[in-house]
Structure 1
Amino acid sequence: MKTLLKNAKQLLSADNMEACEILINGSLIEKVDTKITEEADEIIDLEGKLVLPGFIDVHIHLREPGGEHKETIVTGTEAAARGGYTTVCAMPNTNPVPDSKEALKGILDKIETDAVVRVLPYAAITKGLKGEERTNIKDLSEIGAFAFTDDGVGIQTADQMLCAMKEAAASGKAIVAHCEDNSIVYGGVVHDGEVSTRLNLPGIPSISESVQIARDVLLAEKAGCHYHVCHVSTKESVRVIRDAKNAGINVTAEVTPHHLLMNEEDILADDANYKMNPPLRSIEDQNALLEGLSDGTIDFIATDHAPHAVDEKAQGFLKAPFGIVGLETAFPLLYTNLVKTGKITLHQLVEWMTTKPAEVFNLPYGILEEGSVADITVVDLEKEAVIDRRTFYSKGKNTPFQDWNVQGIPVLTIAEGMVAYKEDIHG
């Protein structure tokens, strides 16, 4: 089966664009050129829209097994495809937790039958994500664990983390960390700052994140491990990561769209659609995150897509679970609010959503080249929309970006040569 994408544009460095056509043969890109005349079984006229490598998100929650009322592998990957993602990495806070070969094999089998885009599952660092007994990292690596994390829970003891890092390094895998020292979280539900005072809610201090990163980068240096920091949110964390990189430590980091685009001042009421962990922090933190991303301290963008049921998020900050959805809104939000405003370039944004995560985790994706896997996202940079949770493919409707006006909409997603999502691209 050959598919020809005609009359497209591709992005060159420095945001220059040129005419582009792509011939897909099976699951691979056979040819990329300004004009292709070969015969094809299907021709899709893109009418000048932009072709990009399929987006990569190394931090999402699919909830299945055990949390199917929040999300499933089907709905989560359909949401990913709608957002332009062709590779997503699923966190292990499921029930059962992928902390054994049997549990991970069950998830891999379900992915094989249900996923509409590529899903690479994490395995847990500790049994049941309890921080007590370590999993068999070697065995889990051999059957297909993408990397290892207890995401949602910080590893509380240095000894546990050091041992896990040594075992992961021996298996050539990364340790991926939600960084939070539980002894100084104090039951917080928002950032410990202006919003906690105004809404009379317990606050989460910035130091609870940064102090654990500071510990872990030194442990990673000792263990010779690739250590990746999830959803960086504070200026102190950026400083620690920058210093560690300057010292030659193998540390990488990600930041979410919501931490780049919002801060605590955006929380106007007790609305748990603004409740996530780490929380929205100060405007100084927000500025430090963009600076850290721009100078390479932070490596790329990941959504931390965390769907919950509507009734769960309706309980207010004190009772609702942490987390917001992000797969379907990430690119338009970032393009509209960072690229269109001149804060970053389109080329930077695309790199942070494609080539950079692929490079960090040694994935053979995130590129548009002859011979590469045909993971392709088509974006209409002129198309405008209003974010409406009622239209989400995800079961999760928990977004703080409801009714935001955006531009730059993914209209076609091709994963391994197959159409995973298609809007009316001629509309």
Structure 2
Amino acid sequence: MNAPALFSKRSLEFQERVRAFMEAHVHPHEATFHREIEAAENPFSTPPILETLKKRAKEEGLWNLFLPIEAEPSDDPAAHYGAGLSNLEYALICEVMGRVEWAPEVFNCNAPDTGNMEVLARYGTPAQREEWLEPLLAGEIRSSFAMTEPDVASSDATNIRSSIVRGGRDRRDGQDGDEWVLNGHKWWATQSPRAECRLFIFMGKTDPDAARHLQQSMVLVPRDTPGIEVVRPLHVFGYDSAPVGHGEVRFTDVRVPLDNMLLGPGRGFEIAQGRLGPGRIHHCMRLIGVAERALEDMAARAKTRVAFSGPLAERGALRHALAEGRLAVDQARLLTLHAAHMMDTVGNKAARREIAMIKIVAPRMACRVLDQAIQVHGALGVSPDTWLAAAYAHSRTLRLADGPDEVHLEALAKLELRGA
């Protein structure tokens, strides 16, 4: 979908360049990627083909496209900073990347690193940005976001129990100490099992007695800090999501300097809210890319598969399913682009209704389209011999990630009742 009136010439050029890169370099190596993961001694390490493609994308200037910060024209083509695209302009690029689950990392546009980079760019100190943002922008390291906990309903972030208290080995004379001491049990910390993960952004409570949304804080925690244990990688419907992985992690008396606090004590919920807006747009547009590809595969399968004396494409039920899929994909795309435009023009807070809507609509739509594509592929569709089963598992998970449907429905209902 291209709408020249809405997109700058430069944005349209980036869309075409990413599309061409995907066709020339990513799609031909999908099988290579999975072979290398299966052959690796540690499946949670970056496969060689991914590093090769990252280098090529960086050399071509297709790097950090999610960042609205534009590199100076005189900079190296492989400059760390982004293309200066708006949320709306980046959205369609994100859709193209989403057609292959691991492709966003080729362009250094993968979650949770994108959200963590946005946090560091927006809230980090100069020293924090130099130590952590620069290597993340360069794609040299990976990171994890440790918020969700197994013992509480973490869709309400005020429930978290992990603690961040001031202490230190040199504590004396009534002083509070020179370190933050972290204790907590986290899970679904994406990329935590990964060999290249070097940083956690840890959310915990610094003041349980403060106002409800001022109790939480975020701290930068180097992965090699003593007291961190990645208990296990978690599977999603049987998939381990390698090389990325989602980990269960324990933090036991983990000590970091006071300077590792982001923004200040009590600002964690504020940071979390600021982090989620763009990320939800990215997730939804990637899902639209997934659904678009599923529709294409469903149509191709229907034209070549013969059953009961004729091609499946001649069956009325299947033809209607294709048509319904097209309606659903295009509706979801337009709604998501509208939300992106609202974020660009009136800000994330004013666009909260539209963001809540897309977070409900896009994952539901992708699951429905994928389910129909699996049905058309029959037994093949639920096997590992196509991309569909893994895509369904991932898409179903996104009805929970960044808040389950019920949370967004409740937020949307409140806005409607207020006459928003």
User: By the TM > 0.5 criterion, same fold?
Assistant: no
TM bin, normalised by shorter chain, reads under 0.3
Q: Which structure is larger by alpha-carbon Rg, 1 or 2?
A: 2
TM-score, structure 1 normalization: 0.24
Under a length normalisation based on structure 2, what TM-score does the superposition of the two structures give?
Answer: 0.24
Whose relative contact order is higher, 1 or 2, with alpha carbons under 8 Å and at least 6 apart? 1
Q: Larger % of helix: which?
A: 2
**Structure (1 or 2) with the greater strand fraction:** 1
